[in-house]
Amino acid sequence: ADAAWGHRRNSLAPFFDPVMPRPSPDAPQPNPSYPFHSGIHDHLESPVTRTFNSIERQLSESSQQEATQFDTLTDNLDRLQEAFDRQQRILEIERKLREQKQRELSRALKDLTAPALPDLSPPIQVEPPEKDTSLEAPAQEDTSRDSSGEVPTDGEPTSKEPVDIVPGVTNIPDEVATSLPESDNVTPPNDADTNPSSSSPQLGTNDVVDRGSFADNLFASGKHRLAAEMYMKQLQENLTPEQRAWTQFQLANCLRHLGDRSGAERQYRQVAAAQITTVYPAMARWWLSHLKQTSALSDRFSALKADLQSNLNSLDNQED
């Protein structure tokens, strides 16, 4: 019977699980393996121990993550501190540049508003034309008598010498005097640029006027517009090179006072190019250099002002 059962069991073996032999109590027990645990004593750990170890590993990993996050935050804080220090240095540099530009603006403004530079050129020796005594009108005899009724003796003056209202005015020939236009008024109108309280020189209707001397007196009294008109009329006359250079130089001075810088520079250049031996060309070159320096200072002042305004606008935008 056993043989028959054994034969049947062997024939049905593919359809049944193999039966493991029962181990002996004295035989050594094999070490069980657990797929989710490792270590020498894992087979001895209880479920509580495994749970505790899992929590401990989670805490360790959490501590490592916190340490990593702390290091990252520390690095970010250091970078922010460096950026803040760099921005502070930039602001300090901008503040110093702004103060320096403000000082330069103040100096440039002071240079522009400073009084006119003194004329360092040598004094002009203007020689008045020789007075032609043959054309002078004879002095009128004073037929008046004194209180005693006696005629003055030869030692006493018989008439008062004519007083020149305009210094430097001399008599000129009649043909030159008649060539003057009749519309020219010997009494100039009031100039709006001057003090209205100041009175213009009153000339007699029979007096002969030297146009150049009259223009010089107008320029000296501050009536630059009238003086410029007189100088331009004088340039239409036949003048010597020296007289033309002086007239153009004075016309340039009038235009400079009136604010016409381009016209003044044009007249100064013509005087500077004149082939004469007087000091007028040197004086014209000095004024050309002065006007050039003034123009450069004005341009620099405008550029600094625009740059300063741009910096202030950028700072306002950063603060906003």
Point out the domain boundary residue: 111, 132, 156: 111
33 in a domain, yes or no?
no
Residue 76, domain extent: 47-111
Answer yes or no: is 72 within a domain: yes
Please report whether residue 264 resides in a domain: yes
- Joined together, the tokens standing for residue 209 give 């006027």
Last residue of one domain, picked from the residues 111, 139, 161: 111
Residue-wise burial string across 104-127, b where 16 or more C-beta atoms lie within 10 A, e elsewhere: ebeebeeeeeeeeeeeeeeeeeee
Percent of the chain with pLDDT over 90: 20
Q: Is 243 exposed, middle or buried (0-12, 13-18, 19+ CB in 10 A)?
A: middle
Whether residue 148 is contained in a domain is answered as no
Cα–Cα distance, 38 to 34 (Å, whole number): 7
CATH code of residue 293: 1.25.40.10
* pLDDT given for residue 306 in this prediction: 87
Q: Of 73, 96, 111, which residue sits at a domain end?
A: 111
Report if residue 263 sits inside a domain. yes
Q: How high is the pLDDT of residue 141?
A: 47
Q: Which residue has the higher pLDDT, 54 or 224?
A: 224
In a domain, 234, yes or no: yes
- 149 has pLDDT over 60: no
Report yes or no on whether pTM surpasses 0.75.
Answer: no
The answer to the question of residue 164 being in a domain is no
Residue 167 lies in a domain: no
212 has a pLDDT exceeding 90: no
**Count of domains forming the chain:** 2
In angstroms, the Cα distances linking 314 to 9, 56, 89, 145, 300 are 100, 57, 17, 90, 21
